[in-house]
Structure 1
Amino acid sequence: MQLDDLNSRFRPSIITYSPIGLNYRVSVDSKTKFDRFDLSALMSSNVLDDELWIEQEIRLRIEATKLFATYRHDFEALEYRLLGRSSDPRVSEERFAAIERKLFNHMKLNFPTPAANVGTTVRYTSPKGEKTYARRLEWDFDQLRQGLAAAQDT
């Protein structure tokens, strides 16, 4: 079947990678430092420390999504050519087409959604340990791409 051939050609390259996951933490020794702490600056600095690895991981995920666009184009061309018509008068053309399309789409490869969860946390605990404060900044995939680009520009 042509769809099986198409899927076998693209399946090895259209990979849904696991999310990029990084977690940075810092503790400060006073409430004033905690209140004034710049999480964005620390996040940018930490991302730059892992810059090459992050760039490679982003590139892998972007390449998979670009390749999926080619796959989708080929898939839709096959769908247009291969979906048949029923010669049975008991089945309407619309119903037959809907069933065929559903079966055909069931075999379609999944979109490789790029994902990331990168976080930075600042924490302060009072000297007696009675109070603990924490703030967190998290970036998803698009924010990571934008944040890395912005950090590289500075």
Structure 2
Amino acid sequence: MPATSTNPLLEVVMANTAHGEKHARLNFPLDRVLAAAEHAAAAPTHKLGYGETEATPRLWWIKSDGTCLMSNGQTPTDTPNNDEYLPTTVHADGWGPGTDARSILGGDDFRQSIELTRPLDTDGTTLLGMLRDAAAHGATRFRLDAVFDDHHMNLTYTTE
């Protein structure tokens, strides 16, 4: 069963986006998403996203040079790899550096925070718990589905 999160989308992000409901489906390698999530969970400090006041473990979904998920955790040993990305950055399949992600979401670059430790469902399952459980049961893919309009974005997470 997919887990779902609803987050308000910043008007700044949507300023240059075509109006009306849109859909995006992104696939990621689960092992790398889990590594980024574990990094965020273990980090002693966390970066804040736009409008955030509480520094908690999160993945950031970023659209700029391609689209990726990355840890918001800060550790003293974080250094970029040869591609100048932190090792806790995982690009969506087909949307790596050099790709133009405007065709996915339109508009300007953005960063959307995805909570790792807040319950997704009434059973108390968190996204971090979902990722760990999926990996332990042999899943290899993480899928992020986004349905959005001019004001809100609904994210659904599934593993397979």
TM normalised by structure 1 equals: 0.24
Structure holding more helix per residue: 1
Structure holding more strand per residue: 2
Instruction: Work out which of the two has the higher radius of gyration on C-alpha atoms and give 1 or 2.
Output: 1
TM normalised by structure 2 equals: 0.24
